[in-house]
Amino acid sequence: MSLISFTKDPEITCAKCAAVSWRRKGMKEVSLDEARTMIRRVLGYGHESVIEHACFTFFIEDISRSLTHQLVRHRIASYTQQSMRYVDLTKSESYFIKPESVAGQEELAGLFDDVMTHCKTVYDTLRKKGIPLEDARFVLPIATQTKIAGHDECTRTQTFFCHAMLPPSTMGD
């Protein structure tokens, strides 16, 4: 994961925006220490919206479509994902992600590799026979490797990662 861009001086930006709610005059400059004090005070009142003024744009690669489906499903950010309709995977050598629970078991890892190789072979054959990318992609597994870029503000990311740490039995479908 790499950080592409972010709000410059996020704590100061958030504090200056928070002060809008109680100041009659325009924004004033604040130091980092003042900003941190203001943010702690406002968050203590339960007003988390002030930290939404800090935004981050990130890029993640070499992850499974399974993971990106979870990110997009929860809609915690704005996303642009590598399209299987436009990116031809016939030239990809490493194209799937193996779960750790499978990789640690030799027999199951071999079975998994066989299935992934078969899916890739079928995909490559379909493409060589002129089947369009948007149709050939139907044989690719959810373990297919992908890339995604996202743009988000702090509170949604914080909420997502808090929920992501919960045991699956508490999350529902």
Rounded to an integer, the average pLDDT of 66-72 is 88
Domain at 58-148, CATH class = alpha beta
Residue 121 — very low, low, confident or very high, per pLDDT cuts 50/70/90? very high
Is residue 97 scored above 80 in pLDDT?
yes
Rounded mean pLDDT, 119-141: 96
Would you state the pLDDT for residue 93? 78
Can you tell me the mean pLDDT for 134-158?
Answer: 86
CATH 3.30.1360.170 domain span(s) along the chain: 58-148
CB 135 within 8 A of CB 125: no
Euclidean distance between CA atoms 97 and 62, whole angstroms? 8
pLDDT of residue 152: 85
Whether the per-residue pLDDT at 37 is higher than 70: the answer is yes
Structure confidence at residue 157 (pLDDT): 55
* pTM for the model: 0.73
Q: Which of 90-94, 111-115, 158-162 is predicted least confidently? A: 158-162
Helices (H), the chain: 10-19, 32-44, 65-74, 100-103, 106-128, 133-136, 154-164
The confidence score (pLDDT) of residue 171 equals: 43
CA 159, CA 113: separation in Å to the nearest integer? 35
List Cβ neighbours of 154 (8 Å cut-off, separation of 6 or more): 10, 51, 52, 54, 55, 56
Task: Please give the pLDDT value at position 172.
Answer: 45
